[in-house]
Amino acid sequence: MRFVEDSEQVRLALSPIRRRLLELLREPASATQLAAALDLPRQRVNYHLRELEKAGLIELIEERRRRGLTERILRATAATLVIDPLVVDPLLGRAFTEIQDQYAAEHLVGVAAATVRDVARMQSTAEADGKRLLTFTLETEVRFAEPGDVHRFTNALTEAVRQVVEEFDTAAGRPYRLIAGGHPAPRRTEGES
């Protein structure tokens, strides 16, 4: 995984052809192989590959002599790109810092964006150091009979979390950020599980 917070890298990675090239380059390949896979002229593929290489999103791993020419074998520098949400929408940072209404969708989106940014940065650093980032995730779905149940549930959950935090919180321990958010579950279409 690679965290991308440079707007120019994001711009270069988001075009449809380049996204497809990055996907294909999870496995090493040459421009000729990629051109055949995409049914595009090799010159056009080479142009996009040079741009991705300049941006540091792909790398040369081998050069082979073939029929008097040098064939370059490339691969993506990461299997997955995580884009900093603030690169796409700088106002998300404002939502995180200014909106404190625990029931506002903007606040949830801002907190989620900050979480993506923080965890992706730490994950990239951990991977570079050959370490594993210790995280945990709690995820469930709850059905509320009445709109007011959301507020009662939030209050009960807040109290339960406060009690558990009180039991485990140690001044000398490593701080962890716990985020609990809720939003309506997306409607599922027939056949989705």
> Rounded to two decimals, what is the model's pTM?
0.60
Structural tokens at position 45: 């593929």
29 — pLDDT class (breaks 50, 70, 90): very high
Counted residue by residue, the chain has a size of 193
Q: What is Dmax (Cα atoms) for the chain?
A: 74
- pLDDT for residue 99 is more than 60: no
**How many CB atoms sit inside 10 A of residue 8's CB?**
11
Average pLDDT of the residues in 19-23: 91
- pLDDT for residue 12 is more than 80: no
**How many CB atoms sit inside 10 A of residue 48's CB?**
21
- pLDDT for residue 96 is more than 60: no
Q: How far apart are CA 135 and CA 127, in angstroms?
A: 14
Phi then psi for 16, rounded to 5 degrees?
-55, -45
The more confident residue out of 1 and 92 is 1
